[in-house]
Structure 1
């Protein structure tokens, strides 16, 4: 009986993970959306998958490599995070609150604010990846995992909206043990990825510290802005938190490298297949 119960839970977990991959990316993983919100705490793992799939062009270490990697970061998730970034970003820039802010958020037409925000986002992501060179093979997957973790924290701290798909994810994020599990998944990713590339303890410590601080700050900022302008957190706000934290982290890593006079966090980068 216990064995059957365990197998059932494992099948449900697999269905939930596959459903989450299908929902958050363009990867046709199948699964069931019914279970996906219950396993939202695995969002950092989905972010890691997105980051890893975006890194191959960076092996070229040329402007075209950075451009292709930038494009993949948006293509793999179907631009849905960027869509939320533009919608909520435009709402913030209008300065409106309450029902008027909600009306602007739901307006399907893009204004000049949204277009400008999108352009700034793409330019900053591209220039950051270009400046980091092949070290972005490590920082990009960690950044994508961090951005997905920020989405989960934002949902955990936020008030659910009255409708929409985002409401289900916000409610499920508050489930027992979700925050601890998501934090554990994120911590394992943040340590494992640089270890695979033979980064030292000091380098990994900087990476984890920067990622954790930026993640928490971006989540708190997004929740505060969303509650003050809309009164709730919905799917658009979650997408906004993802893109805001992604671009902030990439710019931070790139800036650290410039200030230190070296590429950020770096020693000689050795891919995991080299010894």
Structure 2
């Protein structure tokens, strides 16, 4: 239970962190990352039952997804966009990654991300998909966290080497039910990780946040595009 509470505290705004958590608790918490995603997905699935216009409902779900995570993954995406995009030296990219201010790439990528996330959610209102996709997104980055080097230990280092194969068992329902979105939901975080290694030399917490945020968007967009009706808002 302590490991699950720690996972919930790491990935959401819920104040349930245990008072003391050692290295082993951080490693074990990784196994529960998909379960935390399912908790987030439950809010999205319940919201889908509200009798609201598609655009307004999707906006509410975007607010839930971002708010319940404390905008953590969005913050990582914005910081990663400034650091990874554009023509700069590796040293300049690393300085930008540590800078709390936002640049043009952050605003551009953030705006496009929010628009695509909102549009995709307006199209995808299958409660089962909404329940499961945040859980898979919180598994999909874990193999690449193990595969690629870190820029510095930090929180990424605290959970690296954790029980991610157990997380796979919890995340398994999604790829069994939605194989094509699951494939894209793995390829996008892999691409982000490869770009970060090529341009920065490794991963950190911001890059992991970007991997989760873009992985979620890839899952939703792929599902939206596979549906027979047009993607546009009603």
Q: TM tier, shorter chain? A: 0.7 to 0.9
Partner of 2:117: 125
Q: Which of these two proteins has the greater Rg computed from alpha carbons?
A: 1
Q: 1:165 aligns with which of 150, 155, 173?
A: 155
Partner of 1:24: 11
RMSD: 2.0
CA shift in 2, pair 1:41/1:161, >3 Å: farther
- Specify which structure has the bigger relative contact order, considering alpha-carbon pairs within 8 angstroms and separated by 6 or more residues: 2
Asked whether the 8 Å contact 1:16–1:36 carries over to 2, the reply is: yes
- Whole-angstrom distance in 1 between the partners of 2:131 and 2:117: 13
TM-score where L is the length of structure 1: 0.76
Asked whether the 8 Å contact 1:167–1:235 carries over to 2, the reply is: no
Partner of 2:135: 145
Asked whether the 8 Å contact 1:151–1:242 carries over to 2, the reply is: yes
Partner of 2:46: 56
- Whole-angstrom distance in 1 between the partners of 2:56 and 2:229: 24
TM-score where L is the length of structure 2: 0.88
The within-5 A match list for 1:253-264 is 253-257=223-227, 260-261=228-229
Corresponding residue pairs, total: 226
Q: State whether structure 2 residue 214 is matched by structure 1 residue 244.
A: yes
2:48 aligns to what SS in structure 1?
A: helix
2:69 aligns to what SS in structure 1?
A: coil
Q: State whether structure 2 residue 188 is matched by structure 1 residue 218.
A: yes
- Whole-angstrom distance in 1 between the partners of 2:89 and 2:218: 25
Shift of 1:104: 0.9
Q: 1:77 aligns with which of 69, 90, 107?
A: 69
1:211 aligns to what SS in structure 2?
A: helix
- Whole-angstrom distance in 2 between the partners of 1:164 and 1:212: 28
